[in-house]
A and B are shown apart, each in its own frame.
Chain A
């Protein structure tokens, strides 16, 4: 009932390899500075390890590696977004995350036909935020793939 009234949802904006992404704040548990990542043997290349947060051990996924970009060193801007969904909690490493914005649902367009493929699975849509192109990430799809 409240959603229909406001018709907009809040998103955490983050940056990865020069591109802005949005992630629905409902899927986000919290943001953290990346600290104490313990490498774990025999894990896929995009998993940096595990981390202990709020009494829970969660896997840490490097989104640069996951999306096939060149890996980068952690720095003061690097953030871990703790997301939940599909019964799982995962830490996602991004280049930076500094903004919390509300985006009207009407302004989000579906991803273009020609990129609907593997990358299309991860995208819920694309929006133009005052000249900035923001890709809305489908975190559930990402988590589902992790499950598989």
Chain B
């Protein structure tokens, strides 16, 4: 990633890569147009931010005549305004545009990147996985598709049974057996050791399996997904070429549950010494108005990574004209 300074004005993506990217953006819009899903734009300057513990929102100041300076937050995803539209009865919607996550910069991350997020009324998690698979095939061509529940994934690729209930030591020992050295994790932090088994042992093996859907996440990682009667989250992640590409939920609908999860995340933020985020009060109002959020599922998909998968490249800079280092 080190380049001679005199070349800094140049794009990092080739013209052919940007042509492919433009084609994919057009194909995504055509896919949703054909299915009657409406494209909408969401605010880039929101009064609220996502309190998810591991997201870092960027902010700026807006000077409003007669109101004064207000701190506004750049979206980490279009989720909250899209859900307000759903609550308002506007039907199936999607947003395709930039989102912002501070501090993220690697071969697969940029602090500003392009996200596609769409919502489908009446779809359960399985139907949403079907549509996501159809979308991926439309862009990437025919692909083998593997669907595994979270515990099946751990059994098959890490030899760990009962991933939902196993204790920290089970995950820790699997990492040690695989020769993985880890620093800074509390020996009893089950969630982190489980996450590390996923990223260090399982994900590298998924590259050989085309499109992999992992569904039924542990309830601690439900985010804003509803819970199944068995107690796991109705959430899926899609991996393509071993890369995390999309994240889908059968959506949580109860306003009180949203308020509880937001408050809980902000408490965790306080405990970890991270700034608390202003909760989206208008979303909470919308969830209580006119019957609230209709039964639906939603998916957020990283478009830069989709282009990477389509081109078979490993570095996000190959699909972005001007990454943050040259922006």
Q: Do A and B come from one complex?
A: no
Q: List the interface of chain B (C-beta within 8 A of A).
A: none
